[in-house]
Amino acid sequence: MEERIIVGNMKVDMLKEDALHYVETFKGEYNNVVLCPSSIYLNYFMDTKVKLGLQNIFYDGTICTGEITSRQAVSMGIKYVIIGHSERRYYLDESNETINKKVKDAVEHNLGVLLCVGESEEEKENGRADEVIKRQVYTALRGIENIRNVAIAYEPVWAIGTNKLPTNDEIKDKVLLIKKVCKDLLGYENARVIYGGSVNVENVEELNKIEEISGFLIGGASTEPETFEKIIQIINNRQN
């Protein structure tokens, strides 16, 4: 059975003391887990027995104050990067074209990419969800040599931090749509799609029954180490 990837997107959670507490408490060794704390705390996380990721990246070859490039990430042993999170699209106007440049650059440097896509509440209500997702996936991934190191995270914006969840069938439909866009429009076979949005210790067992997904991108519930380890164990139990 395919090992599911489990990514903790800690966003702007944690102050220094919380980060120190986290690394003291989070003891497990998991090959399939990626922790993405704020980059100022990454050094504290270097001794954890999981992989580490950034929450954003900038493309090489351009100088830009305040950014971190793929080359720099690789030099620190970082394995993954989240690209195109809806919060960045919304607050920082990150476009699909900019996201495409970031994905290309990260893939060229052999970083694992977690590309976020998903419709807003308004787009869902107007029946535009599929069209929006198609455009996000197509524009972000066109011209990429191969997507072996890319997982696409379906994160409906209305499910992020809200405790609202799509049904398993709704998630499955969107996962199949994303896989179809990858295959039919971009020629990528076997795209990996993960789910994110209000995943927690109570609902993860049910979500884990979806056959078509390849893992989870978890926000709030990843910021508390004991809870996150419980979630990891629930997800990984399916594989044993």
Active site residue 85: yes
166 binds ligand 13P (CB under 6 A): no
Q: Cβ distance 114 to 84 under 8 Å? A: no
Q: Classify each residue of 36-68 as buried b or exposed e, where b means 16 or more C-beta atoms within 10 Å of its C-beta.
A: bbebebbebbeebebbbbbbbbbbeeeeeeeeb
Please answer whether residues 214 and 5 qualify as being in contact, where contact means their C-beta atoms are separated by less than 8 angstroms.
yes
**Nearer to ligand 13P by C-beta: 51 or 71?**
51
Q: Which is nearer to ligand 13P, 143 or 161 (CB)?
A: 161
DSSP 58: B
- Which residue's C-beta sits nearest to ligand 13P? 219
C-beta of 224: minimal distance to ligand 13P in Å? 11
- Straight-line distance from the first to the last Cα atom of the chain, in angstroms, rounded to the nearest whole number: 9
Round to whole Å and give the CA distance between 159 and 178: 18
Paired tokens of 173: 């439909």
Minimum distance, C-beta of residue 80 to ligand 13P, in the bound complex (Å): 12
- Compute the least distance from the CB of residue 7 to ligand 13P, in Å: 8
List 5, 9, 50, 214, residue binding ligand 13P (CB under 6 A): 9
Site for ligand 13P in 211-230 (CB under 6 A): 217-221
CB 45 within 8 A of CB 37: yes
- The dihedral sign for the CA sequence 43, 47, 52, 55: negative
Instruction: Extract the tokens encoding 190.
Output: 């076997």
Instruction: Say whether residue 5 binds ligand 13P (CB under 6 A).
Output: no
User: In this chain, which of 198, 208, 214, 236 binds ligand 13P, going by CB under 6 A?
Assistant: 198
Residue 139 near ligand 13P by CB under 6 A: no
Kindly identify the residues of this chain, within the stretch 92-111, that bind ligand 13P according to CB under 6 A. none
Catalytic machinery residues? 85, 155
What residue ranges bind ligand 13P (CB under 6 A)?
A: 9, 85, 155, 160-161, 196-199, 217-221
